[in-house]
Amino acid sequence: MQALQDHNTVFEHSNSWRSSADAMVLGDIFEEGVSVTVWNRPEAPLISQYYGEVFKSLGMGIRGVFSIDSLREEIATLLPGEETSIGKQAAIDDIYLLSDMLTTLFDCDSVGVRLVPLSSAMCPSFHVDNIPVRLVNTYLGEGTEWLPKESVVTSPMIGLNEANTQGLTKNRLGQRYQESSVKQMSAFDVGLLKGKSWQGHEEFAAVHRSCKVQPNTQRVLLTLDPM
Q: Residue 205 above 90 pLDDT?
A: no
Summarised one tens digit per residue, pLDDT across range 14-57 is 488 999 999 999 999 999 889 999 999 999 999 999 999 999 99
Kindly give the pairing relationship between strand 190-194 and strand 133-140.
Answer: antiparallel
pLDDT confidence of residue 217: 77
pLDDT confidence of residue 187: 95
pLDDT confidence of residue 44: 97
Q: Residue 84 above 90 pLDDT?
A: no
- The stretch 1-23 carries a mean pLDDT of 58
Query: Which residue would you say has higher pLDDT here, 204 or 69?
Result: 69
- Other CB atoms within a 10 A radius of the CB of residue 226 amount to 21
Tell me if residue 39 falls in helix, strand or coil: strand
Rounded to an integer, what distance in angstroms lies between the CA atom of residue 218 and that of residue 30?
33
Q: How confident is the model at residue 175 (pLDDT cuts 50, 70, 90)?
A: low
Summarised one tens digit per residue, pLDDT across range 90-146 is 999 999 999 999 999 999 999 999 999 987 655 567 788 889 999 999 999 988 998
Query: Which residue would you say has higher pLDDT here, 4 or 37?
Result: 37
- The stretch 60-79 carries a mean pLDDT of 97
pLDDT confidence of residue 122: 58
Helix (H) or strand (E) holding 169: strand 169-170
Q: Residue 208 above 80 pLDDT?
A: no
Summarised one tens digit per residue, pLDDT across range 130-155 is 899 999 999 999 889 988 877 777 65
Listed residue (141, 133, 101) closest to 29, CA to CA: 133
- The stretch 147-167 carries a mean pLDDT of 61
Query: Which residue would you say has higher pLDDT here, 159 or 111?
Result: 111
pLDDT confidence of residue 222: 97
Q: Residue 78 above 70 pLDDT?
A: yes
Listed residue (209, 144, 148, 204) closest to 181, CA to CA: 148
Q: Residue 8 above 80 pLDDT?
A: no
pLDDT confidence of residue 129: 86
